[in-house]
Structure 1
Amino acid sequence: MTSQLSHISSARPPSVAAARRAKPYVRVRDLERDLAERVDGEVRFDPGTRGAYSTDGSNYRQVPLGVVVPRTVDAAVEAIAVCREHHAPITSRGGGTSLAGQTCNTAVIIDWSKYCHRLVSVDTEAGTCVVEPGVVLDVLNRELAGTGLMFGPRPSTHGQCTLGGMIGNNSCGSTAQAYGKTAENIARLEIVTYDGLRMWVGPTDEEEFARITAAGGRRAEIYRELRSIVDAHAGEIRRRFPDFPRRVSGYNLDRLLPEGVFDLAGALVGSEGTLVTVLRAELCLVPAPKAEALVLLGYHDIVAAARAVPHIAGHDPLQLEGVDDRLVDYERRKHMHPDALTRLPEGGGWLMVSFGGESREEADEKARALIEELRRTEHAPHIDFTDEKQVEKELWEVRESGLGATARVPGMRETWEGWEDSAVPPQRLAGYLDDLRKLFKEFGYDEASLYGHFGQGCVHTRIPFDLVTADGVAEFRAFLDRAADLVVSYGGSLSGEHGDGQSRGQLLPKMFGPVVIRAFEQVKAVFDPDNRMNPGKIVAPYRVDENLRLGPEWTPDDPARHFGYPEDEGSFQRAVMRCVGVGKCRQHSGGVMCPSYRATGEEEHSTRGRARLLFEMLNGHADSAVRDGWRSAAVRDALDLCLSCKGCRHDCPMEVDMATYKAEFLSHHYAGRLRPAAHYSMGWLPLWARLAALAPRTVNALAHAPVLGRLGKRLAGVEPARPVPYFARERLRDWYRRRGPRGGGERGPVVLWPDTFTDNLTPHVGQAAVDVLEEAGYRVLLPPRTLCCGLTWISTGQLGMAKRVLRRTLRTLAPALRRGIPIVGLEPSCTAVFRADAVDLFPHDRDVSRLREQTRTLAELLTGTDGWRPPRIDRAAVAQPHCHQHSVLGYDADRELLEEAGVRLDAVGGCCGLAGNFGFEAGHLEVSMACAEHELLPAIRAADPGTLVLADGFSCRTQIEHSGSDRRGLHLAEILAAAQRGTPLGDHPERLIGT
């Protein structure tokens, strides 16, 4: 904060403001002190944290006062009490994926996701469970798997959205077709009001209502006033609330009408933290389908597909989703889900219809009944059908990737949320889509695609709004006005899934009229008379064009850079803005991204959090949380635990490449300054390895001597608990020079790349590769002098040196490259430099392009060798694909080769946690081992003793060795060489190469 005082403005209609304290002030330093003293949790008011939480998945940005991460729900209650004493606003946040701006505010953010994620209890007989608000949906359903039950609604962000966020937004997802919105799946809520009343609420019959009101006190006052408000406005509530499944906008006052049970829990769902704070929730569970079948229907266009929805919905599907040709085209342009897209039948608009059952036969029978009926119609669609679980998963990813697919499409303008979840009665969907497309055309937004939960009339889209000029923002506002009028004319809802927040709050009078809006204001006053609960959202909202993340006054820096960023018009600023906040980096399983978040649970250690900080660093706003540019300590600290694994480059739907951004940042951050010791020791490892080769035994003895070894580690910035690797007595290149080439070489020459790790630390891997390549008929060449890919300089941000090293390598390899000779890499991280980083550093160099195109992994070369077949291995194996292999090179060739060799492969996900120099740097050990414990080490411990452990990465093999396991990781080259010689396979490299 630039001042000890932060002025919090709470603009609201005079009728609401009259009863509330206007223009409250917060003494931020005093607030921070009291929170730190009294709250069992993490209290953070530092610029880095505030920058990371300044926005969500929406167009909006508000820098918070600070963030509280409570360890228990009781600690959160205490945090609210402290905030109340200081008159500080509060905003609850779960996964932070909200698309309407409801989880960012100039307030104290309470982040539930790190600690308050317990499954408190399960009652299988009643079909309910009690959870804390920070539990992620997929994690919850995995914990419930043994009961045969699950929580029914499933948004596309199911891997990272929390139940608290789902309750706040009244989330739905595709399975709401069968199970309804979150509001229909809540039994009770434990809540606390801003003034400190804590209670469980739920459906209340008249007898209980009378008991509550007779008891008196604050609870009785709330119940009486709510009933009075709803009774006074009941007629208008009935008239103005659309009667169809996807009315998410506004407060759920229809759950309090006299003709039903007074359900306060149902009424509070979807209130976006503007009324109460949810502490725990009792959820209604449903039986998990044991089998599913998926029907794909291709129509002429998306409007024709929408016309078929009401009829298909009559078959009671589990999910009924729509996808248009633009979305499919964008996914093809971005090379997303290529195999799955080939399964779509002919058409220009598609419906995806799934059916569940107690068995595959039951699910298939439901699907075939629909198919047979559709085939008898006059305009039958093109049809495909599958009940294969993996194929279904891949096809659903086509639909669930809609947000990522429609953002940053090559050759297209930037697209944004703003009208991304409107909904109409399904029987009127076709007309609405037709009129909406006409509105897009009128405003010049023709690129917008249409997809969504068509079975319930909910439509998703991202639109190429211009949010950086005054005229563009005016057009944005004008479009929203017209679009709101359009959806209301169809009897629809402004929001059908993502809530109102700031995106639609100002537009709500169009849908509900002044009487219901007044009722909303009165309800807000009952719970929060001083407007401290997530102010400016839903009631007395900010304008839709306020607090924009960009906006006409946004003037970011676009600094000089080392990398080319060819996919981002050569702009570091555009590269940073790839993150759209979907939060897939916060998933707890699957893929590699983001290992540091999985280890720490910290927003600023997620790819998204780091991208937010880099955005703030570019200083586009007067209130930027990060003010010191490249010299920022906050950004440096957030990037410190980035493993540079490049998992985000592959797993993020926007292909954010945080490893590259980190290298760029470090280069500028330390320009002209002393670097950390690890940058000189591990960053310059190729040089030290070359010197060590002069006397490896002496170097090893000194490095492992008790006193000198400890001192050396300390001076080098190396983690004291890490054993230092031994340098080989003979380098690979020296061995090969002495040995000379062998074999006929009838398939021609290949250059085997002697990376620093293979050459100096594990030459037996290179020796095995030489044997395999020569046996396959290749003449193996090694570069005539010691070279390097520059990896260690890149990862430590010493990019000037990295470029010099790469230029030297290119000059040496140029003759081979220009003759078309393949370059075979054994170390995935070094191989990935040739395929990715080198091109990013030299985007216009033809030899670099040749290097990228001609570089192969060992498996890629061998599987592409006509007539070559791998030797039989016939063993089970646990494999750890290197992170860079996962993200840049791919593992398909390895999988194909190993399966052909008879290997029963279990390829684990996640990151080993060592990640080059990361795990060796002092202070990183805990996070490094936590990453390894996520998937790799448990898989190894669970494997049978005779199971091979495969790990092509030196880092991965080293982490396995340092874990205390008696298992050793083997390189693909080692097991192939051993198998073709008939050497028994074991865990020890010396057994495989006969040395």
Structure 2
Amino acid sequence: MDAAGLRQELGRRVRGEVRFDAGSRGAYATDGSNYRQVPIGVVVPYDVDAGAEAVGVCARFGVPVLSRGGGTSLAGQCTNAAVVIDWTKYCNQVLSVDAERRTCVVEPGIVLDELNRHLSDLGLMFGPKPSTHSHCALGGMIGNNSCGASAQAYGKTVDNVRRLEILTYDGLRCWVGPTSQEEFESIVAGGGRRAELYQGLREITGRYLGEIRTRFPDIPRRVSGYNLDSLLPEKGFDLARALVGSEGTLVTVLRAELDLVPVPACESMVVLGYDDICAAADDVPRLLEHSRPELLEALDGRMAQLMREEGSHLASLERFPEGESWLLVQFSGDSRADVDRQARDLLKALGRAEDDPAVSLSDNPRREQQMLKAREAGLGVTARPPDGRETWEGWEDSAVPPDRLGDYLRDLKDLFAEFDYDHPSLYGHFGQGCVHTRIPFELKTAEGVAAFGGFLRKAADLVSAYGGSLSGEHGDGQARGELLTRMFGPQVVAAFGEVKALFDPDNRMNPGKVVDPHRVDDNLRLGPLWRPRAEDTRFGYPQDGNSFTRAVMRCVGIGNCRSHEGGVMCPSYRATGEEEHSTRGRARLLFEMLGGHADSPITEGWRSTEVKDALDLCLACKGCRSDCPVGVDMATYKAEFLSHHYAGRPRPAAHYSMGWLPLWARLSRLSPRWVNAALHAPGVAAIGKRLAGVAVERDAPAFAEEPFVRWWASRGLAEPDPADRRTVVLWPDTFSNTLHPNVAKSAVRVLEDAGFHVAVPARTVCCGLTWISTGQLATAKRVLRRTLEVLRPYIEAGTPVIGLEPSCTAVFRADAPELMPDDKDVERLARQFHTFSEFLLNSAPEGWRPPSLARTATVQTHCHQHAVMRYDADRELMRRAGIDADVLDAGCCGLAGNFGFERGHHELSMTIAEQGVLPAVREAAPGSLVIADGFSCRTQIEQAGTGRRAMHLAEALALGLDGPAPADHPEKLVPRPEASRRRAWFCTGAACAALATAAAAGFGRFHRRRG
């Protein structure tokens, strides 16, 4: 293969991004499956025609092609040694909607939730809804014949596709769909490649007509194999539906015309408890006999146990009735009375009452969505259980006739026991007989891989004996391609081969999947030849067996980090649309960096520039720590990587300027006016920013003329007794001390109003946050050890410590225990460290109520608080204070500590902010409060031209102590130094900037020598 020539020709002819670099190839080497194949290169076309041109170039060079959507596939169909065409970044438009006919035309890269948001004003939606609906692409759904819970009512993707625009490898481009006899004859008469395909398909189906009619299971969830049954005369010779589920092995789908359904007006849900999952499955036929539910889902006690152990979806589980396994039955209708009637009729038919402890009935949409989220979380919850086992797909979604489901599950459990696969969770779409599970396969040893293959072959025979399908949702790919003969028999599989040869005679369309497949134990992401390097790391990774490798392997490719709204994860992906800049993409590159495979494109280990570039746009927001279903913590991995990457060599200037911010803030106390003048002097400030690695577009925050600790000392109060239960330590973080001291002053007022004795450390303390975020971990440990010495009397006395800056609080609750896992004082301090709201809500004296405000507020949650501490206590405290809070679900503010201040990040920072928080703040009522506890969030809001001053919740409550405040009080911006002062200190500013830069470099060299 002429890779250089191919790359050059793609770059010359294709309107799009052509990437053959190691980073892109590493990011696309795996999907959501057990498999790994390094691609030749990646093409991200600007439009559909450019994607078609890319296929044409590949055909001229004779290289394989793989069309890829969201890359969430669990059977290996989205990984190949091919040119990967990623449609999701640009080819993601709704081209037309016909509301009257209930159809739409879309491009392959559009995400399902984005399509349904586009259709929502029309009261329409696309019916099938996989659990990955927030990030799966329609092209991928068509490729896999995706289903989801709603397939109970609306069928599989194949049942909702009207027409497809397709492209064959050899260049035929046309629309296909149902074909009448007259149209068929017209196509054949026209001759050419299209006639060849149609005539060939008619001949193949004619030869295998009996086998197709008898060997294709007549069940709701048959997803395996090619849909040759759609070519039968009684099915209207529907070529579009025949190609759905072909996984890119036959054609490239360029556009799709889809059928739409009305959005249900009302829904209700019944949850039924059972003693075990087999008993629940036994009851499915009876439920279907007496009702026509919109969905009928199941989850077992093992999944519920894992959720409780992981602290996941606890609010959902609290709404479940008694039982060890559950069926969730949802009804839809035109009115609440209608759906309630359907639910009660079912209960009556089952002989159950609403007040039965094993029954829960709801017609509250929000509550129903909560309960369904628990079911949708199955893959993430079961992938990396707290007991340290690793579970894998492989027998992820088998399906049988619903009336035989209970017996199938019993036999499947016996098969688990035969192979000593202890206690996998069983859940899924039981109304259609589809079972999900993840199994603790041992995929790192030859014996374990042999057992894996042996289990799959026996499981394939088992499901076939029940008249079922190897796949009921996720397709065949490599995971089940080898097993298709066991399900369909040799003749039908031969028919699949003939269809493949007709469309793709040279086997260049996603080769090795479905037809002539690789073995189920080839191309494993792990496997007995996988030998990652053992690495000494700075963090302890206590949740991952003290192994960075296991921490990186948490990512199983679910792809929630590719969602477009809601939650925090992943802001850089939302702004760029780049796989490499998603949490999953970065985890994939770190996996490749570990060097477990000889063909890994990442060869420089910790020194890898490809990994550094991918992590450069990670905001270290920690959103993935909470929002990723398996708890990937990319902020920690980034800090770990930076620590090794820059070990023994110079760092970027920003690591010395902003990474050492606490030191510069302390020095600023000598003369804050001089420092502010230097930071804002015209001309000189810009030069200083460039030297310090700071974005010139940013205004440097002004240091307070009187830091909080100086104000506190001026009060002359006696130090309270650490053992006094009324004593609390107020943590004087750098931001609340030297930049926004009013936050800490306000907190003191509120705490004293609640009857507490406030203590502030007399000596300098710091959490080390800025050193951690820039990977200067040895320095961070030294800083933390000094802090522990200062706090030791309070730690020993168990005195509560209250943090005002969420990122600093998160250090003590998460980062410090992981950085110093064997330090008992760190462990104790983590338990004693509280947010302002947590402490007041849980520890304030009985009878104390927060000051009353009776104001509306737009509230931006800090990412670290969302990820580590959560925001429930803040919501409740605001409610008690009479604050009508609109807590935004708008993602990261985009500043994220030092990220938005670093040179080269400003544009991305603002793009992220404009996707959520800034529009919400601009739309907030003029008289409302804008509350943001994070210094970064407040700074972003104030510097983005919103005209609003954001305040900490402590400041808002302090307003309540003063009585009613003028409506415009919170709108006043923080004053900046006068222009005349800037000019007066011009020379001083220049000198300070030069000295600061020199000092930064000197300190860096000094600490590198000191180790």
Per the TM superposition, whether the score is higher than 0.5 is yes
User: Which residue, out of 267, 286, 294, partners 1:318?
Assistant: 294
Matched residue, 1:211: 186
Matched residue, 1:298: 273
Q: In 1, are the aligned partners of 2:926 and 2:968 still within 8 Å (CA)?
A: no
Q: In 2, are the aligned partners of 1:741 and 1:780 still within 8 Å (CA)?
A: no
- Where does the alignment leave 5 or more consecutive residues of structure 2 unmatched? 977-1011
Map of 1:425-504 to 2, 5 A cutoff?
425-504=401-480
Aligned residue type for 1:222: L
User: Residues 277-336 of structure 1, C-alpha deviation per residue, up to 9 Å, x if partnerless?
Assistant: 000100100011122111111112111111111121231100001111111111111111
TM-score by length of 1: 0.96
User: Which residue, out of 935, 941, 947, partners 1:954?
Assistant: 935
The structure-2 alpha-carbon separation of the partners of 1:985 and 1:493, relative to structure 1 and needing over 3 Å to count, comes to farther
**1:741 Cα shift?**
3.8
Q: Answer with 772-781 or 93-102: which moved more.
A: 772-781
Q: In 2, are the aligned partners of 1:401 and 1:653 still within 8 Å (CA)?
A: yes
Matched residue, 2:999: none
- Distance between the aligned counterparts of 1:376 and 1:896, measured in 2? 37
* Structure 1 counterpart SS, 2:683: helix
Q: In 2, are the aligned partners of 1:440 and 1:446 still within 8 Å (CA)?
A: yes
**1:779 Cα shift?**
1.2
Q: In 2, are the aligned partners of 1:65 and 1:108 still within 8 Å (CA)?
A: yes
User: Residues 17-43 of structure 1, C-alpha deviation per residue, up to 9 Å, x if partnerless?
Assistant: xxxxxxxxx211111111111111111
Matched residue, 2:823: 845
Alignment pair present for 1:878 and 2:858: yes
Aligned residues: 968
Matched residue, 1:633: 609
User: Which residue, out of 669, 687, 692, partners 2:668?
Assistant: 692
Matched residue, 2:759: 781
User: Residues 420-479 of structure 1, C-alpha deviation per residue, up to 9 Å, x if partnerless?
Assistant: 100011111111111000000111012211110000010000001111110111101110
- Distance between the aligned counterparts of 1:683 and 1:526, measured in 2? 61
Q: In 2, are the aligned partners of 1:986 and 1:992 still within 8 Å (CA)?
A: no
Aligned residue type for 1:908: L
Q: Answer with 738-747 or 144-153: which moved more.
A: 738-747
- Distance between the aligned counterparts of 1:349 and 1:815, measured in 2? 49
Q: In 1, are the aligned partners of 2:331 and 2:343 still within 8 Å (CA)?
A: yes
- Distance between the aligned counterparts of 1:334 and 1:975, measured in 2? 34
**1:981 Cα shift?**
1.3
- Distance between the aligned counterparts of 2:848 and 2:563, measured in 1? 40
- Distance between the aligned counterparts of 1:208 and 1:776, measured in 2? 81
Q: Answer with 735-744 or 70-79: which moved more.
A: 735-744
Alignment pair present for 1:104 and 2:79: yes
Q: Answer with 817-826 or 498-507: which moved more.
A: 817-826
TM-score by length of 2: 0.94
The structure-2 alpha-carbon separation of the partners of 1:956 and 1:536, relative to structure 1 and needing over 3 Å to count, comes to same
* Structure 2 counterpart SS, 1:92: strand
* Structure 2 counterpart SS, 1:203: coil
User: Residues 166-202 of structure 1, C-alpha deviation per residue, up to 9 Å, x if partnerless?
Assistant: 0000000000000000000000001111111110100
The structure-2 alpha-carbon separation of the partners of 1:34 and 1:875, relative to structure 1 and needing over 3 Å to count, comes to same
Aligned residue type for 1:918: F
Alignment pair present for 1:524 and 2:500: yes
The structure-2 alpha-carbon separation of the partners of 1:666 and 1:389, relative to structure 1 and needing over 3 Å to count, comes to same
**1:642 Cα shift?**
0.4
Q: Answer with 745-754 or 200-209: which moved more.
A: 745-754
**1:361 Cα shift?**
2.0
- Distance between the aligned counterparts of 2:970 and 2:925, measured in 1? 19
* Structure 2 counterpart SS, 1:347: coil
* Structure 2 counterpart SS, 1:811: helix
Map of 1:885-964 to 2, 5 A cutoff?
885-909=865-889, 910-964=891-945
Matched residue, 1:12: none
The structure-2 alpha-carbon separation of the partners of 1:250 and 1:991, relative to structure 1 and needing over 3 Å to count, comes to closer
Q: Answer with 791-800 or 328-337: which moved more.
A: 328-337
User: Which residue, out of 256, 275, 282, partners 2:231?
Assistant: 256
Q: Answer with 120-129 or 925-934: which moved more.
A: 925-934
**1:412 Cα shift?**
4.9
Q: In 2, are the aligned partners of 1:299 and 1:381 still within 8 Å (CA)?
A: no
Alignment pair present for 1:126 and 2:104: no
User: Residues 235-286 of structure 1, C-alpha deviation per residue, up to 9 Å, x if partnerless?
Assistant: 0111110011111000000000122201000000000000000001001000
Q: Answer with 381-390 or 263-272: which moved more.
A: 381-390
Matched residue, 2:998: none
Matched residue, 1:238: 213
User: Residues 912-953 of structure 1, C-alpha deviation per residue, up to 9 Å, x if partnerless?
Assistant: 000000000010011101111121011112221112110010
- Distance between the aligned counterparts of 1:571 and 1:115, measured in 2? 38
User: Which residue, out of 963, 967, 992, partners 1:982?
Assistant: 963
Q: In 1, are the aligned partners of 2:623 and 2:866 still within 8 Å (CA)?
A: yes
Alignment pair present for 1:415 and 2:396: no
Matched residue, 1:827: 805
* Structure 1 counterpart SS, 2:326: strand
* Structure 1 counterpart SS, 2:257: strand
User: Which residue, out of 168, 171, 174, partners 1:199?
Assistant: 174
Map of 1:770-809 to 2, 5 A cutoff?
770-809=748-787
State the identity %: 64
Calculate the aligned-residue CA RMSD, in Å: 1.6
**1:983 Cα shift?**
5.4
The structure-2 alpha-carbon separation of the partners of 1:394 and 1:250, relative to structure 1 and needing over 3 Å to count, comes to same
Map of 1:498-647 to 2, 5 A cutoff?
498-647=474-623
- Distance between the aligned counterparts of 1:974 and 1:355, measured in 2? 47
Q: In 1, are the aligned partners of 2:928 and 2:967 still within 8 Å (CA)?
A: no
User: Which residue, out of 50, 70, 76, partners 1:95?
Assistant: 70
User: Which residue, out of 758, 762, 765, partners 2:740?
Assistant: 762
- Distance between the aligned counterparts of 1:577 and 1:935, measured in 2? 31
Q: In 2, are the aligned partners of 1:169 and 1:497 still within 8 Å (CA)?
A: yes
- Distance between the aligned counterparts of 2:414 and 2:955, measured in 1? 62
Matched residue, 2:313: 337
- Distance between the aligned counterparts of 2:956 and 2:248, measured in 1? 57
Q: In 2, are the aligned partners of 1:983 and 1:992 still within 8 Å (CA)?
A: no
- Distance between the aligned counterparts of 2:635 and 2:503, measured in 1? 46
Q: In 2, are the aligned partners of 1:137 and 1:162 still within 8 Å (CA)?
A: yes
Q: Answer with 270-279 or 964-973: which moved more.
A: 964-973
**1:375 Cα shift?**
1.9
The structure-2 alpha-carbon separation of the partners of 1:381 and 1:310, relative to structure 1 and needing over 3 Å to count, comes to farther
- Distance between the aligned counterparts of 1:197 and 1:591, measured in 2? 43
Matched residue, 2:995: none
Aligned residue type for 2:922: R
* Structure 1 counterpart SS, 2:248: coil
**1:994 Cα shift?**
14
User: Which residue, out of 624, 630, 636, partners 1:654?
Assistant: 630
Matched residue, 1:970: 951
Q: Answer with 781-790 or 715-724: which moved more.
A: 781-790
* Structure 1 counterpart SS, 2:296: strand
Q: In 2, are the aligned partners of 1:743 and 1:777 still within 8 Å (CA)?
A: no
Q: In 2, are the aligned partners of 1:213 and 1:220 still within 8 Å (CA)?
A: yes
Q: In 2, are the aligned partners of 1:131 and 1:281 still within 8 Å (CA)?
A: yes
**1:402 Cα shift?**
0.6
- Distance between the aligned counterparts of 2:521 and 2:975, measured in 1? 71
Aligned residue type for 1:292: E
User: Residues 721-768 of structure 1, C-alpha deviation per residue, up to 9 Å, x if partnerless?
Assistant: 001111111110001101234999996111111101111111111111
Alignment pair present for 1:869 and 2:844: no
Moved over 3 A (4+): 740-747, 985-995
Matched residue, 2:1003: none
- Distance between the aligned counterparts of 2:832 and 2:711, measured in 1? 25
